[in-house]
Amino acid sequence: MRRKLAEKTKSESNATTIDEYVISVMGATGVGKSTEFLAESGPLRQEHAASQPHQPNSNSSSSDKTTIYEIPIVIGHPTASRESQRQVNAFGDYCAKFNFIREDYASRLDLSIDRTTGLSVTIGNGKKLTTVGTTFLPPFRFGDETESHSPLFHVIPKCLHNIILGRSFLKMTNTFSTLANFARRVKERVLHGITHHHFLYLGESMPRFSGLVNGKPQEALADSGAKVLVIDEDFAQKNHMIINHGSRTTLRFADESTAETSGMVHGVQWEFGSGGHGTHTLDFHVLRNAPADVILSDSFLFGNNAFSQYNCYLVDDDEDDDDAFFFAIDVDKRHHCPGTTNSTSASQTKHIELVYRGEKDDEILRLPLNEQAAAQAKEKDRRADWDRNFARHQQAQLPHPSNGSSTATPSTATTWSASQPSPGMCQQKSSRRWFKLKRKSSPSS
């Protein structure tokens, strides 16, 4: 049963819908923002959303919805002036062995980077990636809390998030494992109109829950960064699961390589521990040679308070390991079709713009009341220009009858996307991201 939060602190201004950016918070519709996908252009903005306490929404099955879980932090000493403090939404990845910060973001913060401590990591396709060094953030705190933290961060060239709080830090602060902390610190955002999702996968040596799959003992990866439930194809076949090959999905990796799923299995029964805690009937995407047999997604884990309620079933390897891996996947729900080489690029561009709109909404809400109307009008005009340019770009991609005239080409679309001044669009081309993961070792059984 979902927990109920004691307080609702959001103002009525969040009970609105702005264009295509819709946020669902505590059963209401409102606006907000997430740093899940950040445009890498423009000056650094204050990025703390005026968001609601988290309310799980694990039962929704909307095909165009992406739910994002954020941890707002405030960088700067509590006694410092408000102007010198920076509000940021960090990402809590329980599968990340370390804390990470994106290199350009560290530069924007004028952080000193120790470039003698690079860490070699391997991404999901086997390629090597080397971190550029380590750094320390200025003391930061969770939201309105008073305790400050200043852990070590590994600096990575590119990343989906500006700041990733890793498993050790999340455990030390009991952010996921204590229900009160989770309710106070973790915020849920829902983006509609999104055609693909990212899927993070971390292997066997990382946190996993013991439980039952269709009544048989089985461990499942507890991946707080995974957007979809995944099951290994061989595992599904060995357990006589019926694969629906008509429900295939294209998985997109961080290096833009892709893998097609084999389909889906429906009605899989999962129970935490040895049973007796209730049975969850789940539908899994089937992936050939998946790094783990069973992967539980963020919405399922958070929606069932798994890290707090079922912590006793969590197998958590704590030993330090520098042989870490990054592995990021986009889940493209459109599947692959001939002649759609630019659809993913357009989708990512739109996603970045939607999130940027949420950022602007929150930024405007923090302005004095007498300045908000002018700021809203200016942003409304910018969005109208963006929508016209985006529609023109989409129209250029449509096939035209052969009449002797030249038609739009993919290169034309790419030039358009890269040339737009909108902060939500112009950096799409350079926004490839890496995630902290760990490869699965040889199966022990």
Question: How do residues 221-243 score in pLDDT, each as one tens digit?
Answer: 888 877 788 899 999 999 999 99
Q: Does domain 12-195 have CATH number 2.40.110.10?
A: no
162: left (phi over 0), alpha (psi -120 to 50) or beta: alpha
CATH class of residue range 198-332 = mainly beta
- The CATH 2.40.70.10 domain(s) of the chain lie at 12-195, 198-332
262: left (phi over 0), alpha (psi -120 to 50) or beta: alpha
- CB 122, CB 69: distance < 8 Å: no
Q: For position 298, what pLDDT does the model report?
A: 86
Residue type (1 letter), 128: K
- CB 29, CB 15: distance < 8 Å: yes
Q: For position 195, what pLDDT does the model report?
A: 54
Q: For position 276, what pLDDT does the model report?
A: 81
Q: For position 367, what pLDDT does the model report?
A: 79
Q: For position 200, what pLDDT does the model report?
A: 54
Between CA 159 and CA 169 the distance in angstroms is 19
User: What residue ranges in 297-429 does DSSP mark as E strands?
Assistant: 314-315, 325-326, 328-332
* List of long-range contacts for 9-13, beta carbons under 8 Å, 24+ apart: 9/52, 9/53, 10/50, 10/51, 10/52, 11/50, 11/365, 13/365
User: What residue ranges in 47-162 does DSSP mark as E strands?
Assistant: 65-75, 86-92, 100-102, 120-123, 128-130, 133-136, 140-142, 152-156
- CB 154, CB 282: distance < 8 Å: no
Between CA 68 and CA 299 the distance in angstroms is 9
In DSSP notation, 11-25 reads -GGGS--BTTB-EEE
Low-confidence residues of the chain, pLDDT below 50? Answer: 1-62, 122-126, 201-204, 253-255, 320-344, 404-445
Tally Cβ neighbours within 10 Å of residue 377.
Answer: 10
SS3 state of residue 122? strand
